[in-house]
Each structure stands twice: as C-alpha cells, then as structure tokens.
Amino acid sequence: MDEFLEIFGPNSKSNSNSGLSEGLKIQIERFETERLTFQKVRKAFEYEKACFDAEKTEYEKNLKKAQSFHFPEPIQLNIGGKVFHTTLDTLTRHRDSFFGAFFSGYIPLKPSKDGSYFIDRDGTYFHYILNFLRTGEFLFPKNKPHLIEMLLLEAEFYQIEPLINELSELVGK
C-alpha cells in the first residue's frame, strides 16, 4: 500500500507528471482520508479496550474478594430492636437493593455481639418487606393507605425497586 502511495499518492513525483485522471486523483485522496480516519478509530478502540480490560481486572479482583467473605446462615437482622431471621439469598435477591450492597462483601461488616446485623429503622413494617423478598409477591393489606405509605418509605430506604413501583401505584405517585 505504501508503495502505491509513493508512486501515485498526492505528493509523489509520478503523480505530478503522470497525467493521472482527475477522477483517480480524487479517489486516491478519498482513500487516504479514509485510511487516516480508520487509524484514528482503531486508536480510539484500542484505548477503550484497554480501559475495559482494566475495569474487568478490577471487577474480577473485587468479585474474588467478595466471594471469599462468608456470612453465617441464617442471617439474623436486628431492625430497630426487632429480630428477624432469613437467608442471605433472600436478602440479596435484588442485587441493586440496600441488602444487595450491604451483604456484597465490599462493605466491611461486623455483627453485634449477639451475631445480628443492626439496622437503625423501625422494625414494625419490616416483616412485610421480608415477605416480599422471600416470595416476590405483595402480601399485605392494600386497603390501608397509611400502611401503604409507610411501606413505601421503607421500600425506598431499602431500595427495592419492584416493591417501590407497586407501592407507588397504590399510593398514586
């Protein structure tokens, strides 16, 4: 390719004296422009790939660290003085939720002396939240507006999107 450009390229000796048609000169210029554009795109792609590879390496390192952290089963939660027992699988069913982050292994956790994890919230409504996490169903009286509003506040705190969506519909938000 470089030989072609030396012979027929815009700065070549033969180009000025060769009598190339105007159409061929335009095609050579377009080709050179596309070649330079391709090189820029390739460099950008290589940069993005290097960034992706670095992120992937960091993710795999953090995943390995998180997987090495073990929580005893069953998990004991102390929500505002009320104790609940459940499994890690139930609590982390919604990975983007409070509990998904809380028990991810990325946050250093230390249980209380009794082995429970204390969360400073009112435990009055938590059994509804926990039942939703267990079943994926909305098992609570839907005709009690005050209860729905309180559950919505709790669902927002725990960042459980499917529950937030269902409760928001019931409240009319």
pLDDT score recorded for residue 17: 45
Please name the residue that has the structure tokens 């450009």: 5
81, HSE (Cβ side, Cα atoms, 13 Å): 2
Beta carbons within 10 angstroms of residue 53's beta carbon: 10
Average pLDDT over residues 165-169: 92
- Rounded to two decimals, the pTM is 0.58
85, 121 in Cβ contact below 8 A?
A: no
* pLDDT tens digits, 126-146: 999 999 999 998 887 777 888
Beta carbons within 10 angstroms of residue 103's beta carbon: 19
Residue among 148, 149, 143, 71 nearest 105 (CA): 71
Residue 51 CA, chain-centre distance (Å), reads: 16
